[in-house]
Amino acid sequence: MAQIIETIDVDVPVSVAYNQWTQFESFPEFLDEVVSLTQVTDTLTRWKVNVGGVEREFDAEITEQHPDERVAWTSIGAETAHGGAVTFHRLTDTSTRVSVQLDWEPSGLVESVGAALGAGSHAVKKDLKNFKEFIESRGAETGAWRGDVDT
């Protein structure tokens, strides 16, 4: 099992960073490999991604979600099994540390080599930089979902 852990500090309050992260359908605006994402229910999302020129679709279940603290998920029916969590840590009234932990099981030679070379870590780091630019340039979230999930 491969694991990626990356963090970034963003210059917005924790509630703004968290609220934006709950707007899953906006992910294609800052996550490079996400083609589309549809929130089917409060806890089910449908993803279409393009990784290395290969398009894949899968569902993910939100297994834990606590406002201003954490969003965790696990994939359902994905070719590459994965799960993870994003946590939000208040640094000051106007800044937040966003941490991503992603656990995945590489499938096939290309994914195994990519994992060994740190390609996934590089991609997550870039996506977090994109998120930082997105949320800081706006200064406010595009929406919010403040529900609590604990399955």
Q: Decide if pLDDT at 119 tops 90.
A: no
| Strand-pair partners of 113 | none
Residue 117: which pLDDT band, with cuts at 50, 70 and 90?
very low
Amino acid 52: pLDDT = 78
Q: Which domains does the chain have, with CATH numbers?
A: 2-21+62-150 (3.30.530.20)
CA 66 to chain centre: 15
Beta strands in 44-115 (DSSP E): 44-51, 54-66, 70-76, 82-92, 95-104
Amino acid 114: pLDDT = 53
More confident residue, 50 or 65: 65
Both tokens of residue 111?
A: 């994914």
